[in-house]
Amino acid sequence: MAERPSGIRFIPGSTDILIVAPHGPVIDGEYQNDVRTGIIAAEIQRALGCTAVINDRFFKPKGDIKKSLENYHLDLFRIDHAGKVPEYFDRIAEIVKSSTKTVIVWVHGIADDKAVSHGREHIDQGLFAGGPEKIDAFIGYGQGADPKTGETWDRFSARQETVETFRDQLTAGGMTTLLTRKEGINYRGRDSKRFNQWFVQQGYGFDQAESIQLEIKEQGFRDSRENAVKTAGIIARALLTL
């Protein structure tokens, strides 16, 4: 019997930076979920020589599609779903555990219409002076409360200095990026069920792990392979400053 493929691609390298694309499957030749985030992750790894873990097969369930390990229907940004795929979960855990310090960047895609609506929220609060279409990405690092657990405080997954530097360098490189406001309904890296918070839950300090959720719009950044490669270059150069 042929061995069942894991659907997970591991690209080894230095462990000071770990790039993860949890929603980047390619199914029957078509990019699914956060399209071309797998390309972005691999190109960042190639540029920096760091480590990357890329989901090439598991489809994030939505609509009538229910979670199923057998059918490769799992959300690998959810801690419980990821735990069903040891080739993915254990690899990430081992990299951080074995490293002196790791900055983990979760490469996600935000739909263009959601990026605009989310951007309007920030503009209404005086957090951005341009039009919402000018915002290209958002950074989540545990801002604000968690309505699911009742916690009312921040549960940061990275240092403020780190995310502000990353934001500024991404913007300077041509990808206008905002730190998601703490009252935002999503994209804050705050959900206790999502992998961005796992390192905090395990008791890792920022001297060992800083985890950043990066949400990138599609138009101009993920809508073609060429633009995905360009985006990877912007992110790689920004990460060099960290």
User: Concatenated DSSP letters for 28-79?
Assistant: TTEE-SSTTHHHHHHHHHHHH-EEEEEESSPBPP-TTPPPBTTTTB--TTBH
Q: Which domains does the chain have, with CATH numbers?
A: 8-240 (3.40.630)
- Calculate the CA 10 to chain-centre distance: 16
Please give the pLDDT value at position 185: 84
User: Does the pLDDT value for residue 187 go beyond 90?
Assistant: yes
* Residue among 40, 77, 83 at smallest CA distance from 61: 77
What is the pTM assigned to this prediction? 0.96
Over 60: is that where the pLDDT of 2 sits?
A: no
Phi, psi of 146 (to 5 degrees): -115, 100
CA-CA distances (angstroms) from residue 64 to 61, 135, 144, 167? Answer: 8, 32, 31, 36
Predicted local confidence at residue 1, as pLDDT: 42
The position carrying tokens 């419980």 is 80
pLDDT value of residue 148: 81
